[in-house]
A and B are shown apart, each in its own frame.
Chain A
Amino acid sequence: MSEATLLEARNLRKSFLTAAGVFAGASRGAPRQAAVDGVNLDLAPGETLAIVGESGSGKTTLARLLLRLIEPDAGEIRFGGRDLLAARGAELRRLRREMQMVFQDPFASLNPRLCVEAMVGEPLEIHEPALSRATRRERVGAILETVGLGADAMPRYPHEFSGGQRQRIGIARALVLRPRLVVADEPVSALDVSVGAQILELLQNLQREFSLTYLLISHSLPVVAQLATRIAVMRAGKFVEVGVAEHVLAQPAHPYTRALLAAVPEVPA
């Protein structure tokens, strides 16, 4: 693996029992379906790799594998040169704090009983328990400022915020540990166009400010087109095409990519 790679995955596989398999009692030979089916991926620091694909193509499963939120059936993952799948205990915790996730539904992903300060401070409490209360407050206030919310959001609860503001809280929570990699799974698909544009702009600015590497997951090619440096097109658990964003969008090589592009309804110019 080259020095310049932040995240590297080889031949990742994950299958689930199908509904039929679940009813069949789920032992050997029960029908399984490959959600991620032999994916290879290299992520260079500072780039934005977008994974696009239709519902059920395996995008979220792949993201969860890459963050080791679930264990693969087979394959290798290296993060910053370390074997992520072999990591245990303190080392795993250290690797994990460098990779954070932003979710699609800001409402569902935030604990309704925690005020913003507690919610955004929680990762700090876990990963930097030695921090004094005052320092933690400062860090939380600063990151809220950075995502455009301001420290006066701290005592408030998620239901007091709009969808776009909740997405900002989710981003603040992901960034408070100063990770190197941020995986954003459909970060704007639950938002209105104007609010979505604000969040996309924020993600762009944060990437510059903190030298972040992004894995952006989306079913929307227009959204992906705004941020991605490279695009991987996923279908039925496999990448059917990976390339520089401009090329994939302008000269798609795979028929499936062409079909996806052709189906995007465009505003008349």
Chain B
Amino acid sequence: MAPLLDVCQLTVELPTPSGWVRPVNDVSFQLAPGETLGLVGESGCGKTMLSLALMGLLPPGARRAGEAWLAARNAGGAGRLNVVALGDRELVALRGREIGMVFQEPMTALNPVLRIGVQVEEAIRAHLPHSGRGGSAPGPGEIGRRALQALERAAVPEPQLRARQFPHQLSGGLRQRAMIAMALAADPQILIADEPTTALDVTVQKQILELLARLRRELGLGLLFITHDLGVVAQVADRLAVMYAGRIVEEGPVVEVLRRPRHPYTEGLLRASPQLRRRKLEPIAGVVPRLDALPPGCAFEPRCPYRRAECAAAVPELRLAAPEHRARCILVEPVVEEVTR
């Protein structure tokens, strides 16, 4: 199936007192309809910056390069548009309508003084085709009905009651459901969820993950799911991308990557993650490098237990380690890529 999103060598640069840094560096991936791509990596590796770049929400002064092709429904002749090349006006039209987004802390994304229902209605109204011609714009009653439907779709119990309440009157889990309702109000094809369950209890997290899985199935959503929790990503994702210092260092089918990691950083994350089974945790040595002081070659080299002299020479390419499984490490014995692709 043609991908919904085709990201090609996306780079984001930010100005800092010590020069330009690249929180997102040469990132490429594809997202198909109904597919979930999990994106993991430790704090500061660029997960949020990547999603903000796709939404056109980068901090002021940021520079972008590369391409991010979106199979937009209203893209005109070409059928695709490059998000990276769009201006602010076009990006506003795109947000919500083509790509929805859910954040870690719904309290900061919701307006505390507006009722939930009003906020969902606003999300719907913002993406209606401009009324006037044809006179087919839905009235307030219709929009109210659609807002309730949106809440119902996100499995908010008693949507009529909840629509009249304010954000602080909802539990964390319900607030996240309301956020999901708003993100999906204009029927986007892609949902970016940035740590949507990190602030929630495990039992509530489970419910939200189940909800997202169902919505993705029913609506054919492409889901980009950002987390730092390898257990969570194993539950939700089909494919997994591991980021380190702005780059994707490993990518492949989620179970394959977690069972047979090919990049030493992924292996390190797995060894350091606490599981219900008690075992000796093995922290990764050292610390994440600063973006303004990256090592010259492989960014993981200073911490890598397998490093060799040549690792510091140049940034390793992503190599095919197994079908659909790539890792950015010189230790990977590249398998010959099939010619038919």
Contacts and interface: CB of A to CB of B under 8 A. Distances in A.
Interface of A: 54-55, 162-164, 192-198, 200-201, 219-223, 225-226, 245-246, 249, 259-261, 263-269
Interface stretch (B103-111, B154-162, B267-275): B267-275
Contacts of B258: 267-268
A195 B270 CA distance: 13
A265 B229 contact: yes
B201 A193 contact: no
B14 interface: no
Contacts of A249: 276, 278
Given A221-B276, A222-B276, A200 B231 contact: no
A266 B206 contact: no
Interface of B: 42-43, 172, 201-203, 205-206, 209, 228-232, 234-235, 255, 258-259, 268-270, 272-278, 281-284, 287
B278 A194 contact: no
Given A263-B206, A268-B255, 9 more contacts: A192-B43, A192-B228, A195-B287, A222-B274, A225-B275, A245-B278, A260-B203, A266-B275, A267-B275
Nearest to A265: B231
A226 B231 CA distance: 16
Contacts of B284: 194, 197
A54 B203 contact: yes
Main secondary structure of the interface of A (DSSP, over half): helix
Contacts of B274: 193, 196-197, 200, 220, 222-223, 225-226
Tell me which of B202, B231, B259 has the highest count of chain A C-beta atoms within 10 A of its own C-beta.
B202
Contacts of B259: 268-269
B42 A193 contact: yes
A266 B258 CA distance: 11
A265 B172 contact: no
B172 A55 contact: yes
A109 B98 CA distance: 42
Contact of A226 (B172, B205, B278, B287): B278
A107 to B, nearest CB: 13
Contacts of A55: 172, 201
